[in-house]
Amino acid sequence: MSQYILLRHREIPNLGKLEVYRQNDGFQAFYKAVTSMKPEEVIEVVKASGLRGRGGAGFPTGMKWAFVDRHNWPHYVVANADESEPGTFKDREIMENNPFQFLEGVAIAAYAVQANVAYIYLRGEFWQIAHQLDQRIAELYASGLLGDNLFGTDYSLRIYTHLGAGAYICGEETAMLESLEGKLGQPRLRPPFPPSYGLFGKPTVVNNVETLTNVPLIVANGASWYRQYGTEKSPGTKIFCLSGRINRPGNYELPLGTTFRQLIYEHGGGIPEGRQIKAIMPAGASSSLIIATDEALDTPMDYESVPNVGAALGSASLIIIDDTVSIPWLINKTIHFFKHESCGKCTPCREGTYWMMHLTERIAGGAATWEDVELLKDVASQMKGKCLCALGEFSIEAVLSGIERFKGDFEAQVGATQAAAEELPVPAD
């Protein structure tokens, strides 16, 4: 096999040039789809490939496309390029270096659901990437790969970029749609889901950049080709973002099912300065903290196995924590992030992240008592299951798992007084 499905630019120099991309069969899949496949056939191939959403939820992509309401038109495709989860930086590499494969994926998705307009919603910080994409999209129009009556058919497609402006919540698909519509980026109620009520109230497919970038090769090579990578239930490769206390941070495209150990030690070069690994956050700041036991390290990274060690694969953005890191400090960091990014729409998240921030600051600052730790746990538990969207629900993952799995760190942090009080010797007689 070629090692890469997504990060092919690492093997093929200048793949970001349209000419080079086309020399490497670029846009053959889109051409094939538009000229010789029915939209349903494209959906079938993607369904059969078992491709699952790479944005974090892992929802089967083909199924999502099939849900698009055929009685309500027009349809839209929105590529989620809002990559904002702390620890995640994969979509950026794709868009910077293998942009045409991504754009071809967008185009195929649009054809599959018969959308004539697709938007790429990029976080505002990706200003330069958006401008590069705009230029590349212009090249596609000029080459007849986008525009009206493509390849002599009656299918037409336009792709536009749209820049966000600094709001993590817009990575949530319905908040993204609201934002794209020119409103506050606050999540909508679901149901209805975007395939029935999406952008401008029309049926819409929202897919992550990485997900879409898989599509051209699946359509070109077929579902069974794709299924040779990864596991039965999690086929394909995945880009793992490796950051934190690691020797070789970066993106690693590996088959799903690769173990934590392989990624961290074989690919990532292990922990700097010969330190001990303490914990792993496999899905960025939204993640539970996994205690880095041998059992955990040998767990395959796929959608089914990671829950066995008390976390979720999510976007596969691994933040590596070594033994120098205090967990109360860590959760203070993540809670600051969520408090800053909470959109404010629902009460538990708006008030809960704010309250937790006060508590984690106090705990991390050494001014807290054990009561505060208990209260923090209560507040987090009180949020659980009550938030409108995943932001609030995920904000408590590190808190609850941290207190449960790294209790010692908290005990150490709440100060000598408390510890001393608990350890007072029982008076003799």
Partner 1 sequence: MAKLVTLTIDGKQVTVPEGTLVVDAAKRIGIDIPVFCYHPKMEPVGMCRMCLVEIGRPAIDRATGEAVREADGSPRVVFSPKLETACTTPVAEGMVVIGASEKVKEGRKAILEFLLTSHPLDCPICDKGGECPLQNLTMGFGPGQSRFIYDDKIHLAKHVPLGELIFLDRERCIQCARCVRFQEAVVDDPVIGFYQRGRSLEIVTYSEPGFDSIFSGNTTDICPVGALTTADFRFGARPWELNAAASICAQCPVGCNITFNVRREAKAGGRWVIKRVMPRQNEAVNEIWICDKGRFGYHYTESPHRLSQPLVRKHGELTPASWEEALGLVADRFRQAGDGLLTLASGRLSNEDLFNLHQLTTSLGGKSALYTHMAGGDLVSRIGVAPGTNFADMGTGSAILVVASDLHEEAPIWWLRVKQAAERGATLIVLNPRPTRLDKFASHVLRYAYGSEAAAVLAMVNSLSAKRPDLPETVKALGRSPELEAAAKAFAAAENGVILFGSEGTSLATSQALAQACANLLITTNHVGRPNNGLIGVWQRANDQGAWDIGFRPMPDLAQAMRSARALYIVGADPAGDDPTLVETGDFLVVQELFLTDTAKLADVVLPVQAYTEREGSFTSGERRVQRFYPAVPERPGSKADFTIAGQIGALLGLDMEARLASKVFLRLAVSLKEYAGLSYTRLSEVEEQFPIVGRGDLYYGGTTYENTQGLGVQLPPTILLGEPLPLGWLELPQIQMPQDGLLAVPVTRLYDRGQTLLPSELLHPRLPQPYVAINPADGKRYRIPDGATVEIRSQTPISLVTLRRDPLVPEGVLLVPRSMGVPINGPTPVDLRQVERVIA
Partner 2 sequence: MNHLEEKYADEIQAILAKYPEEQKRAAVMPLLYLAQRETGYITRQSMNDIAQILELTPTEVASIVGFYTLYYDQPGGKYRIQVCTDLPCALRGAEEFLEKLCENLGIRVGETTPDGLVTVEKVMCLAGCDKAPLFQVQTGAGLEYHENQTVESALSYIDTLRKRER
Name the residues that contact partner 2, by CB under 8 A.
Answer: 83-89, 91-92, 123-128, 131, 160, 162-168, 179-185, 200, 241-245, 249-251, 281, 285, 317, 319, 321, 325, 330, 333-334, 337, 340-341, 343
d(CA 377, CA 409): 14
Pairing of strands 277-285, 250-255: unpaired
CB of 364 to partner 1, least distance (A): 15
Q: Please state whether beta strands 250-255 and 237-244 pair in parallel, antiparallel, or not at all (unpaired).
A: antiparallel
Amino acid at 407: K
Q: Which of 210, 216, 180, 214 is nearest to 198 (CA)?
A: 180
Q: Which does 351 bind (CB under 5 to 8 A by kind): partner 1, partner 2, none?
A: partner 1
Q: Is 122 helix (H, G, I), strand (E, B) or coil?
A: strand
- The residue behind tokens 């809960």 is 352
Query: If contact means CB under 5 to 8 A according to the sort of partner, which of partner 1, partner 2, none does residue 83 touch?
Result: partner 2
- With CB under 8 A as the contact rule, the residue among 44, 382, 415, 418 that binds partner 1 is 382
Interacting partner of 354 out of partner 1, partner 2, none (Cβ under 5 to 8 A depending on kind): partner 1
- Non-local CB neighbours of 268 within 8 Å, separated by 6+ positions: 242, 246, 247, 248, 249, 252, 320
Least Å from the CB of residue 224 to partner 2: 34
388 binds, among partner 1, partner 2, none (CB under 5 to 8 A by kind): partner 1
Of the candidates 301, 236, 294, 233, the one whose C-alpha atom is nearest the C-alpha of residue 267 is 301
Of 183, 49, 212, 195, the residue nearest 120 (C-alpha)? 212
Q: If we measure between CA atoms, which residue out of 70, 55, 177 comes closest to residue 113? A: 70
Regarding 401 and contact with partner 1 (CB under 8 A), the answer is: no
Closest separation between CB of residue 103 and partner 2, Å? 16
Residue whose pair of structure tokens reads 């009180």 in the numeric block: 382
Pick between residue 50 and residue 249 the one whose CB is nearest to partner 2.
Answer: 249
Nearer to partner 1, 8 or 362 (CB): 362
Q: Does 377 bind partner 1 (CB under 8 A)?
A: no
Q: Which of the listed partners (partner 1, partner 2, none) does 377 bind, with a CB threshold of 5 to 8 Å by partner kind? A: none
Torsion of CA 138, 135, 79, 69, to 10 degrees: -10
Stretch that binds partner 1, among 2-10, 135-143, 197-205, 378-386 (CB under 8 A): 378-386
Residues at the site binding partner 1, with contacts judged by CB under 8 A: 167, 169, 184, 189, 339-348, 350-355, 358, 375, 378, 382-383, 385-388
